[in-house]
Structure 1
């Protein structure tokens, strides 16, 4: 199917056509006291980046995942992480993994030396200590906290007992286990003839070294968090990075194309015939051709939406921090097979940077994006993206609008997604003071003692994995290259979005839900108003569209067939409440989210 060409000429309008006034700048206010509130631009601090940097410092698993997605992956596309500077996060992940490698090498060397001198005692103690400290896992502990049942803040609580007892308890337990292991080790394999000497040497190698090097690694991580990841001046001194996610090509896999934008908040769509004013449908009279195409309508809608931004001189009550862009979505299996995108555009740089040599680009030339407007078939689609990053980029609302004018029919679809705040475990930097107290330092030493048993048992496997990392990455890339050569439908789609992966799934504040609802409705109102204005300017009937707009804005849901789960209320004066944001925890609005709900009319 073909898309009608854009009408770049002057728009025709009949004198008797009812006109929906286009939104214009309001008249200057009368002289008097200033308004009590003036919308401001988005706040400068990038909280989402801070939290992700904190996460790679605290979680070894997350640090390795960040490095895998940002540095080691060379073939599949990278999913958007809206509001996050991934280069800054990767730099913190690289430093964290460097400290972890140093720790594992030194602890592993101590473990191997002890294994040579007293193998039975070493094995018995390592297994017992690892079992005792299994709860420490791969992640650093945050002690003295009480977690709430919602996504609210973690309230700090006073630790029980003295700090010295916190250190003495794990050390005493470890020494007891080591003593039993040394005594039992005399009856298996070989051991030092002097039991006291074997115990003393093993205590240094199996308790002292792991505890000290684990403490050093923890100290470096917490120091980095205090120095550069606390809110305010500390983060500003580190450069206060801005998000580096200016992308207009999203290569996705699976069913949903809007990867990285969070859970679905609302969705609506409709199709309407474009007929001149006064013409009766079904009268047998063939309507004239539509005097414009999809591109002309998109240009008008984008211009009107740009006026809705707070920094626009044409808007007195605009939306702060709103970005209006155009994005192209393509399924990963169709990336090499579609004729709508050129290989040189997807993999710029020639054959040396083609498929299998580097990732698909995240930025298409604007003329290619414009040429894809109004597509109604195939795996390549164009959308207007309206994104608001609020609460220091911790909450991201994105509205994707798809427009198509084809065969005298206008099709309009809107999908609103919300990216919730970051998980509570990664927000610990907000609770830290500039200087660590002596009690905190002692308790951190106790945490290192608790974690040292698990570190001891994992150190050698981690060192071996590090030595084989280059070969493992090479084999993985060879497998991908083989699949590229033998599978014409190889899926280049992004697997996961790092920012979406650490989303809490819940609002932290009621007004976050209020803001998402308000801005979403404000954008929907402007989209529908601009479309009606544009159609009226071209002498087309807008009564059917006006009725559909009333249904969408007043009742909040349009449904033709299919099914919907969650709380739904429809009709005059209806309202609905639901628990769950994109599948759990927090209000999601009518027709969105899952969980128990109530409806009244």
Structure 2
């Protein structure tokens, strides 16, 4: 890249990256695995989530993976394939049993199909009946009533069909007696029906027990700390911790969670030389105070901010240290413009990072990522700071993002009684109670087989080769997909259940964002003063930003609070009691 922001044909020389991570105590490392453990549990508890991760992350070798903040992706993929094998074996066993029963004893198959279909339809009718009751209680719209009535009629027809099939099978069995010998399709008997029913129960019970045993093992360190077991997983492990975030689409901060708009801002600071107090009667003009040459370079300011922030992570005093703080370089690059950065992607270097800082008009943009993970990685707050020197001004941009906790379903393995021998028995009983629903999942067999076939071809990293019109940017984040959505967090929790996100988790996001924000602003002022830059306007802007960053959490009262410059608050006294 040349000094004017354009790209030259020369490549950045390959050097080793000097990026360092903050030191962590054994307790913090042990805590750090909580989010990874919950995501591994999600592979067993949520089949749709598992399919999305395996399809969008593992099998999509034409795109880079999103950065992993607060967790490790490799163990999640390892457990995802284990859960996939459990479900695949169950589905194959069910299909094999279905083929055998239809060939050997069609009458017994008709009885089983009719019984299971009526069982499942009864469960669905119960849910529709509750919806119909909710309509009369909550007075919903006529459109919702028509939908409920349509579902009720459709389920009634399905119930009639299942009863008809089961009735024909029972009639055939009664006419043939107890013997199952005869010409096809009049084969079958009570013994065949009992044997095939027992085989189905055994297959479902074995899969449920194996799945629960895998969940029980997630409390062991070795089970969570899985190492890459294939070429594709080693590639993913390298990409998830890469300095570059190669993204697709509009948002470059993929993997960082939701943006906190109240804590995101930007402004341009003119680079003026600080006034000399002795020349108060002969003040210099703005043109005379402008620096002809910038008094510092962008990488010098970034290095100063990096050092001041890292000091908070390295403190020995627990009342000074900011636990879980990690500070490092993060370069955002659109996947459609990656060809000019091929060598840098292979080996990011300090010199290449400085060149990107000096050319903020290129496709690659440098950010200083100041990240705090807490609650075992369940809550991750990241402040991205972008600085650049252009037009004799210092441009500063703060973007604050937060990853909220994983879905409460995935965290259920930490509940008392959710693991252990008793949990295995309960898991088997739960699946048997939902036997028709479990058997209905066999329709996903085609998707499961497709995942396995595509995984065999995913060992080659296709992001390293240039293709016309290609975009290798990440478009799916495992951590964001597993996070609780706003409607899930805001919905009131049942009286006998824990809230998805508690008050202190949300408060920690804003606390960490403000601590980092204030530290960065004070460090910038200190750095600019050391370079003899006028900081009067910077101080005014910083004060306005900090004052306007007041957050109102839920129903907390803000009565009598004035925010912003020259703000005035007027209160009206309450009327006297009569």
TM-score normalised to the size of structure 1? Answer: 0.67
Q: Mark the CA change 1:272 to 1:514 in structure 2 (over 3 Å): closer, same or farther.
A: same
Structure 1 residue 424, shift from structure 2 partner: 0.5
Q: Which has the higher helix share?
A: 2
User: Which residue is 1:263 aligned to?
Assistant: 258
Where does structure 1 lack aligned partners over 5 or more consecutive residues?
5-38, 138-174, 349-362, 559-565, 577-598
Matched, 1:405 2:397: no
User: Which residue is 1:345 aligned to?
Assistant: 344
Q: Distance in 1 between matches of 2:119 and 2:4?
A: 67
User: Which residue is 1:497 aligned to?
Assistant: 477
Q: Mark the CA change 1:131 to 1:524 in structure 2 (over 3 Å): closer, same or farther.
A: farther
Q: Distance in 1 between matches of 2:218 and 2:122?
A: 26
Equivalent residues in 2 for 1:468-507, closer than 5 Å: 485=467, 488-505=468-485, 506=489
Structure 1 residue 527, shift from structure 2 partner: 0.9
Paired residues of 2:173 and 2:189 also in contact (CA < 8 A): no
Counterpart pick for 2:338 among 335, 340, 344:
335
Matched, 1:574 2:562: yes
Equivalent residues in 2 for 1:49-68, closer than 5 Å: 49-68=36-55
Q: Mark the CA change 1:239 to 1:441 in structure 2 (over 3 Å): closer, same or farther.
A: closer
Name the SS of the counterpart of 1:79 in structure 2. coil
Q: Distance in 2 between matches of 1:133 and 1:296?
A: 67
Equivalent residues in 2 for 1:159-178, closer than 5 Å: none
Where does structure 2 lack aligned partners over 5 or more consecutive residues?
6-24, 125-161, 175-179, 229-236, 277-282, 490-499, 572-578
Q: Mark the CA change 1:203 to 1:345 in structure 2 (over 3 Å): closer, same or farther.
A: farther
Matched, 1:322 2:325: yes
Q: Distance in 1 between matches of 2:273 and 2:481?
A: 49
Name the SS of the counterpart of 1:214 in structure 2. helix
Counterpart pick for 1:236 among 193, 211, 221:
221
User: Which residue is 2:513 aligned to?
Assistant: 520
TM-score normalised to the size of structure 2? Answer: 0.70
User: Which residue is 1:366 aligned to?
Assistant: 350
Matched, 1:444 2:427: yes
Residues 320-369 of structure 1: CA deviation (Å, up to 9, x unaligned): 11000001101122222xx3x2x2333x4xxxxxxxxxxxxxx6333322
Equivalent residues in 2 for 1:430-469, closer than 5 Å: 430-433=414-417, 436=420, 443-459=426-442, 461-463=443-445
Structure 1 residue 199, shift from structure 2 partner: 4.1
Matched, 1:384 2:368: yes
Q: Distance in 1 between matches of 2:407 and 2:215?
A: 17
Q: Mark the CA change 1:237 to 1:600 in structure 2 (over 3 Å): closer, same or farther.
A: farther
Counterpart pick for 1:421 among 389, 400, 405:
405
Paired residues of 1:79 and 1:260 also in contact (CA < 8 A): yes
Name the SS of the counterpart of 2:398 in structure 1. strand
User: Which residue is 1:93 aligned to?
Assistant: 80
Paired residues of 2:75 and 2:224 also in contact (CA < 8 A): no
Equivalent residues in 2 for 1:110-121, closer than 5 Å: 110-119=97-106
Name the SS of the counterpart of 2:320 in structure 1. coil
Q: CA RMSD in A?
A: 4.2
Q: Distance in 2 between matches of 1:437 and 1:466?
A: 29
Structure 1 residue 57, shift from structure 2 partner: 1.6
Residues 233-259 of structure 1: CA deviation (Å, up to 9, x unaligned): xx3364657996533111111211111
User: Which residue is 1:222 aligned to?
Assistant: 212
Structure 1 residue 468, shift from structure 2 partner: 5.4
Structure 1 residue 210, shift from structure 2 partner: 2.1
Name the SS of the counterpart of 2:312 in structure 1. coil
Paired residues of 2:116 and 2:436 also in contact (CA < 8 A): yes
Q: Distance in 2 between matches of 1:373 and 1:570?
A: 41
Structure 1 residue 53, shift from structure 2 partner: 1.1
Structure 1 residue 550, shift from structure 2 partner: 0.6
Q: Distance in 1 between matches of 2:459 and 2:227?
A: 32
Structure 1 residue 434, shift from structure 2 partner: 8.3
Residues 261-304 of structure 1: CA deviation (Å, up to 9, x unaligned): 11112201111101011286865536232221211111111111
Aligned length: 466
Q: Distance in 1 between matches of 2:165 and 2:560?
A: 74
Residues 180-227 of structure 1: CA deviation (Å, up to 9, x unaligned): 35136789xxx975989434313432x32222111111111112222x
Structure 1 residue 312, shift from structure 2 partner: 3.1
Q: Distance in 2 between matches of 1:571 and 1:441?
A: 53
